[in-house]
Chains A and B, each alone.
Chain A
Amino acid sequence: SAVISQKPSRDICQRGTSLTIQCQVDSQVTMMFWYRQQPGQSLTLIATANQGSEATYESGFVIDKFPISRPNLTFSTLTVSNMSPEDSSIYLCSAIEWSSYNEQFFGPGTRLTVL
């Protein structure tokens, strides 16, 4: 199965600043996604990271707040912009390998705290 790494693993940020989270997969994947998991809650899909084009956002999430890049098949970034305490969450990227029969693997997550 694909191995997914994320950087940073955690961060504490000040209100109004931005943080970029990196997601790296060790093999070529078809699709990459970004999810948010608020404390003690389930996962909510933020967007699909499309290679070489704009990400596709889910209802309630917008590009200005969560710009996403995916310059190649194995790497994506998510930026959390103009942060507020409500953005404190775990952000996880996920990916589907070419040969995984749609199985979706998740990265270790980035734990973000906004003060």
Chain B
Amino acid sequence: ELKVEQNPLFLSMQEGKNYTIYCNYSTTSDRLYWYRQDPGKSLESLFVLLSNGAVKQEGRLMASLDTKARLSTLHITAAVHDLSATYFCAVDKGGSEKLVFGKGTKLTVNP
């Protein structure tokens, strides 16, 4: 059974600091997704990582995938308050397009 673990689950940061969110998963998969969810809102797609070594960047966020280690990271550079949200990673279950989600990381960026 595919399990997806994120850590930390809660993250409080100061503006301007850097931090990394980790996403580990238990079985082989070549596809990993990162989503953002604001309170009371739906999920916004941030990154789709489709192969080992994939790295994608958008603004202050950068995501990477190491399929051999079954690990993805979401790195936050020079955090700003607008990045406050819950971030989910999700892993494709055996190429089926069915997603198994981590528990989410609630990020709070303090001025």
Contact = CB atoms under 8 A, between A and B. Distances in A.
A70 to B, nearest CB: 15
A102 B88 contact: no
B98 interface: yes
B50 A42 contact: no
Interface residues of B, number: 20
B104 A42 contact: yes
A9 B40 CA distance: 11
B42 A104 contact: no
B48 A107 contact: no
Nearest to A47: B98
Interface in A63-115: 92, 96, 101-109
Contacts, number: 49
A58 B48 CA distance: 23
B33 interface: yes
Nearest to A44: B101
A45 B48 contact: no
Interface in B34-59: 35, 41-43, 45, 48, 50
A109 B43 CA distance: 9
Nearest to B1: A59
B102 A42 contact: yes
Interface string B77-111: 00000000000101010000111111110000000
5 contacts: A33-B98, A43-B90, A96-B97, A102-B48, A106-B43
Given A42-B88, A42-B102, A107-B42, 15 more contacts: A33-B99, A42-B101, A42-B103, A43-B43, A43-B88, A43-B101, A45-B99, A48-B97, A58-B98, A92-B42, A96-B97, A104-B45, A106-B45, A108-B41, A109-B42
Interface of B: 31, 33, 35, 41-43, 45, 48, 50, 88, 90, 92, 97-104
